Amino acid sequence: MWASIAWRLFWRELRRGELWVIAFALFLAVGSVVSLSGITQGVQSALMQRSAQFTAADKVLRSSQPFNMELIAQAEQFNVQSARQMQFDSMLFASDMMQLATIKAVDDAYPLRGTLELKQSDNISVGEQAQLRPGYLYLEARLFDLLKLTVGDSLELGMSNFIVGGVIVNEPDAPLSVFGGAPRVLMHIDDVAATQIVQPGSRIAYRYLFAGENADLAQFEAQVEPQLSVHQRWQKMDRESAIGSALERAERFLLLAGLLGIVLAACAAAVAASRYAQRHTKAVAVIKALGATTAQIRLIYGSHLLLVVLFSLLCGVIAGQLAVSGAQLGIQQYLTDYRAEFSWRPLWLGCLTGLVCATLFAARPMWRLANTAAIEVLKQPETQFVLDKLQLITGALAIWGLMWLFSGELVLSIGLFLLCAVFAALLMVTAATLVKLTKPASAGQSSAGKLALANLRRRLWANSFQLITFSLAIFLALLLYFLRAELIGQWQRQIPQGAPNHFLVNITEQQRSILNDFAQTHQITLDKYYPVVRGRLLSINDEKLQQESSKEDRSEQRVGIGRELNLTWLAALPENNQVTSGSWFSADAQAQVSIESELAQRLDISLGDNLAFSIGGQQLSASVSSIRKVDWNSLQPNFYMILSPDLLAEFPATYITAFYLEAGREQLLNQLARLMPTVTVISVDNIIKQVNGIIDQVTIALSFILVIICFAAGLVLVAQVQATLEQREQELAILRTLGARYAFLRNALVLEFAMLGAMAGVFATVLAEAMLLIVQQRVFNLPFTLHYTLWWLGPLLGVILVTTLGWWQLKRLLRIPGAQLMRRVLQG
């Protein structure tokens, strides 16, 4: 029987505001978590897929032993695609010329991810598309000049003859190192046997490429893991890309910023639920007086909450998933072969958030409602908005729980939570003192002003609470607006417009002047020249370093120690390097070296250690005078070891430089290759494009959060005003019967909200500025600058937002004729 009563009450109550506010608040919470987590996951998987494109597969197994076809067969069982690939260095012979090259032999399935682009030409920008076929070799552009070849010429590799089939335009898994190695050649794996290059003891890297659904891959990997020999191991996917860490930071920021929006929404739900409960106290007392038990009441009002929760969960999940799908479409524009993946995680995370908000914010007032005593029927209804302390505690706990859930870090969540709590307490006290201190007389002679102030003072604690939520809401909107600009700015600064998108490597001393002339005639601006000397680290404090046993590891360990390193000498510390201990070379530094911090850690090198290098057969030693942090995100030449100029200056060096080339001028690259065949050109244009694409996505996500926070803030306002509705009705009725005119009441109302809004705006501005200054210093390493726009925008926003929303909700009340108002009030 309670069900039909519950249903009827629910249906009628929908016309009043509170249930909708709760529903909308939960909807916002669920929707934002689903969409934010979904979008971040989308961008992340886009990044994974992008790096998969750079390895031409989802997973790569490296081996120094010939292929084990058993593995390939197993992959098939798990629905995982596979491809084989061999790589070795060998000499190419063309008539009377020869050249060392890195040969990669691939099968027909290659590449599993990304695209291989070949052209039947010696020019990467013209010519027909070509297909990799047995009997043909495809060469990197510079090899055509080095060996004086054209397409169709014949070429010897090992014991076989090949025909030059074309030029490699894009090899997805070519090494990304700015210091490429030997020129690259592609061949079909079926031709390898005939060359007789594979001999016992020859250094051949075997690779198995695998691709498939994540779940299948994981199962396959688990199955294969125990079968792997010491010669086989999985290649780590390169997550240290230019954007990896920027994105990681972005994800945290997104979720935490989103969380603040959720907290606001939850506050709105809590206020609305309290209000709902308060408004129903009398009804519950009556129903109880008529014989209902507490359990019955609980069922009735619990079902109201349940219906609202189910409804908003459903809508939130649908809306969130729609947003995710939209974002996935967006990502597809930047990564053409991006495969959108459906994931349950955002959905359950969203539902969990919704449930936590509902139980810890909204359920408590409903629970308390059921405890109303029947005798309350004889008492005056409570119209004053009262803060429930226990609810404050459960609410706070819920906020902290969500912080923990989203950040995944206990310490961070506790810190953040305490910070928020202190802020809130501080605000509360300030607000209360401020309202208390304002003497009605200070509002001038206007009696409307006096009434407004009196109203503010009378609802002192409720108003202080309102003030906090308004302030927080405005603060968040402001903070996010400015931070967003700063974050985006920072990312764009990393890859500014016109940042070098081509690197030139292997430039000799003599070529520098030719290159300078070339740059001048074609109006290209060259970056500065970095000298490079190839050398080997021999020992640390006379302790011999173990030589790497097999050559296959070399590309994985970005600098295999014991193999050749790129050494440079510089007098000045490079821009995006930061000395973390020791100090940078002084002008008269003698025999010193500065080492990159991660490498230092890996090799256990500390300040003052003595490093011995071998360079072109000569030995030299240097003591470590500084350890540097290098920003690997910057697309600039970065060095593990920098020696003091006195050490290396006499050694013959090659140079690296970079330049920006506008789209459409790629034919210059061919000219450059002709002019200086030994110089390698490395293009990072694609990477930059994709980074920009991802920055766009993150920007959209940020704007999205801004919208959510604004909505949530508005919702809090609506809930708060609704909470005072009844009381206001009563007062208005009395004032009206006492003869107050419409204009007077209107002015008083507007003034009240304008004052509240102004105060909230000022608080928010101060908070936002303080936060921005901290973030600027700590995160962006920028100098202190005040945000002048903030100082007028904040208070103005507060006044406009609060007044508009207040007015929008209360203007109705003013219009109700006095008699009708009186009657409504009398009927409770």
Partner 1 sequence: MNTPEVHIKAVNVAKSVKVTDGSLTILHDISLTINRGESVAIVGASGSGKSTLLSLLAGLDTPTQGEVFLGQQPLHRLSEDERAGIRAANVGFVFQSFLLLPSLTALENITLPAELAGVKDARSRGLDLLLQVGLSERADFFPAQLSGGEQQRVAIARAFITQPAVLFADEPSANLDAATGQKIEDLLFKLNAEQGTTLVLVTHNNDLADRCQRQYQMQAGRFLDINTQGIADVG
| Site residues, partner 1 (CB under 8 A) | 1-2, 4-5, 8-9, 12-13, 282-283, 286-296, 373-375, 377-378, 823-824, 827-828
Q: Which residue, 217 or 287, has its beta carbon nearer to partner 1?
A: 287
**Which residues have a Cβ under 8 Å from the Cβ of 745 and sit 6 or more positions away?**
732, 735, 736, 814
Query: How far apart are alpha carbons 750 and 360 in whole angstroms?
Result: 34
In the chain, DSSP finds a helix count (H) and a strand count (E) of 22, 22
Check: CB of residue 768 under 8 Å from CB of residue 478. yes
Distance of alpha carbon 129 from alpha carbon 139, whole angstroms: 14
Q: Give the shortest CB-290-to-partner 1 separation in angstroms.
A: 4
Residue among 378 and 411 whose Cβ is closer to partner 1: 378
How far, in Å, are 260, 462, 772, 799, 805 from residue 474 at the CA level? 12, 18, 14, 10, 13
Can you spell out the DSSP letters for 33-70? Answer: HHHHHHHHHHHHHHHHHHHHHHHTSSEEEEESS---HH
Nearer to partner 1, 85 or 372 (CB): 372
Q: Which of 760, 720, 794, 46 is nearest to 385 (CA)?
A: 720
Rounded least distance, CB 285 to partner 1, Å = 8
Q: How far is the CB of 292 from partner 1 (least distance, A)?
A: 5
CB 287 within 8 A of CB 495: no
What is the amino acid identity at position 795? P
Looking at the DSSP assignment, which residues form a beta bridge with residue 197?
Answer: none
Q: Which is nearer to partner 1, 437 or 826 (CB)?
A: 826
Instruction: Rank residues 11 and 808 by Cβ distance to partner 1 and give the closer one.
Output: 11
284 or 570: whose CB is closer to partner 1?
A: 284
Axis crossing angle, helix 788-815 with helix 742-778, rounded to the nearest 10: 150
The nearest distance, CB 289 to partner 1, in angstroms, is 6
> Least distance (Å) from partner 1 to the CB of residue 4?
7
DSSP for 608-663, please give it.
Answer: T-EEEEEETTEEEEEEEEEEEEE-TTSSS---SEEE-HHHHTTS--EEEEEE---T
Measured from the CB atom, is 19 or 399 closer to partner 1? 19
- Contact (CB, 8 A) for 487 and 253: yes
Identify which of residues 285 and 706 has a Cβ nearer to partner 1 in the complex: 285
Considering the complex, what minimum distance in angstroms separates the CB of residue 293 from partner 1? 5
Q: Which is nearer to partner 1, 380 or 523 (CB)?
A: 380
Name residue 255's amino acid: L
Q: Give exposure, 87-102, as e/b (b: 16+ Cβ within 10 Å).
A: bbbbebbbeeeebebb
Measured CA to CA, the distance from residue 753 to residue 804 in angstroms comes to 9
Q: Least distance (Å) from partner 1 to the CB of residue 458?
A: 18
Smallest separation, CB 719 to partner 1 (Å): 20
Least distance CB 375 / partner 1 (angstroms): 4
Burial of 341 (C-beta count, 10 Å sphere; 0-12/13-18/19+): middle
Nearer to partner 1, 371 or 557 (CB): 371
Please choose, from the candidates 755, 23, 712, 646, the residue with its C-alpha nearest in 3D space to the C-alpha of residue 316: 23
**Least distance in Å: CB of 828 to partner 1?**
8
CB of 726 to partner 1, least distance (A): 12
CA–CA dist 278, 382 (Å, integer)? 7
- What distance in Å separates the CA atoms of residue 418 and residue 488, rounded to the nearest whole number? 29
